[in-house]
Copies of this chain bind each other. A is one copy, B any other.
């Protein structure tokens, strides 16, 4: 089931870049690291129109394409060369689910957000010869990667747009993410990650989906039946048909690897834990975009970090879909994001 899911048929077309044996910051090695990505538009002769957009928790490049890329959108392939990069562990790039024994499944090494960014930097420079990206952006875990890019490679991007995410997780966010982890890992069928078939953990995946949904959308989405726009009838119909349906085909070890990355993301690690010093290194023109109803990354926490980014601006958008407006289900959110990105790209 997971093999059929993590496929060109569902998430393609995508390409894969082999980066060889890749040393992680932990000291572990991923042998023959593959990074899956999709591109849109053409790289200009000056190589100055490239946009990098890494994916969020549990998504792939496909949802980024569907929700953000297109003619007339801010990310218009007529103007930009857009690279949608898939995280390590998300199922298309090297992941627990596609790495053979003995290093696959529960033994897949722990990966950090910074490892993804280092791998993406190699993809961008070695594969495409791009020295400076016009924009790096991303939502949620994509925002974590965007911040890490801007801190780690300050001269490699002209602009940055972290959306609905933090450079360093707050204690509350870590607690919340741990409840997502616990919902999956507590399924007796998990067996420390050595399950025979991912589908055997469907109860844990469903519990995870429900805890995720309860704070991922705003209360108003449920209470005013905002999900009816998508054809769902009741809260339960929506949570099953939209959220459980999203997670059930995915591999639990993959999700847990991503969740651990999410929980532990911290750009200050390269500055001895000094967040102000780390964010102070950013040279990209940065629009920090917050969703006012976000239950995962509250506005106040996002704003506290934005103030530490030199020359940055806070841009607020509003959606009853809360954090999960990222999915592109809310036309008003999409239009607002495009306005902010257009302004940033014109800067």
Q: Which residues of A are interface residues toward B (Cβ below 8 A)?
A: 170-176, 178-179, 182-183, 186-188, 203, 207, 210-211, 213-215, 219-223, 225, 234-235, 239, 298, 300-301
Contact = CB atoms under 8 A, between A and B. Distances in A.
Interface of A is mostly: helix
A222 B188 contact: no
How many of these chains are in the complex? 2
A182 B210 contact: yes
A207 B223 contact: no
A180 to B, nearest CB: 10
A210 B187 CA distance: 16
A315 to B, nearest CB: 21
Nearest to A304: B223
Contacts of A223: 170-172, 301
Given A188-B188, A211-B211, A219 B182 contact: no
Most B CB contacts (10 A, CB to CB) among A183, A188, A213, A214 go to A214
B175 A301 contact: no
Contacts of A301: 219, 223
Given A171-B235, A182-B207, A203-B186, A300 B213 contact: no
A337 to B, nearest CB: 24
Given A203-B186, A219-B298, A211 B172 contact: no
